[in-house]
Structure formats: structure tokens, C-alpha cells
Amino acid sequence: MLEMQIWFYTGCALVILGTIGTVIGPGVKDPIVRILNTEIPAVGVSLIFLSYNHVLALLTFIAATVIITLILLRAVVRLEEMGAEV
């Protein structure tokens, strides 16, 4: 039986590592790589919600993360189609 704290601290570690990876990780000059890196803190926050039993918040957060990723990808693709520096 795993203790509940394991999930909490795994989530914390993922959030911090993912944030550092998003800010100064390898290849983040490319906005697509940066968007994909934001998924790691998202998984960490999901684990933290899970350890606090926030079911509704967890479900809504997963849906919102998917929509935010779609919006950001759309913005990047449209800006690149216009020939802007991204």
C-alpha cells in the first residue's frame, strides 16, 4: 500500500522539474517544444489534485489543459503562416 504523500511529492517534483524544463530546457527556442514541455507541470498538478481528492477540479483541469494546448498550437501555426518571427 503506497502512502498518499508519495503521489503528492511526485507531483511537486514533476511541477518543479517541468517548470525549469519549460523555462531553460533544451530546445525551448522552438515554441512547439516549449508548449510540449508545459505538459509535464500539468501532469504534476494533476497528481497534486489527485492526492487532495479534488475530482471535479482534476477532470476540469484535464479538459482545460487540452483546450489551452490547442489554442497555443493554433496561435503558433497561424503566426508562422504569416511569416512572423516566433
Task: Answer yes or no whether residue 74 interacts with another protein by CB under 8 A.
Answer: yes
Residues 7, 22: Cα–Cα separation, whole Å: 22
CA 21 to chain centre: 11
One-letter identity of residue 4? M
Task: Answer yes or no whether residue 7 interacts with another protein by CB under 8 A.
Answer: no
86 half-sphere exposure, CB direction, 13 A CA radius: 19
User: For binding to another protein (CB under 8 A), which residues are involved?
Assistant: 4-5, 8-9, 12, 15-16, 19-20, 22-24, 28, 31, 34-35, 38, 41-42, 44-45, 48-49, 51-52, 54, 56-57, 59-61, 63-64, 67-68, 71-72, 74-79, 81-86
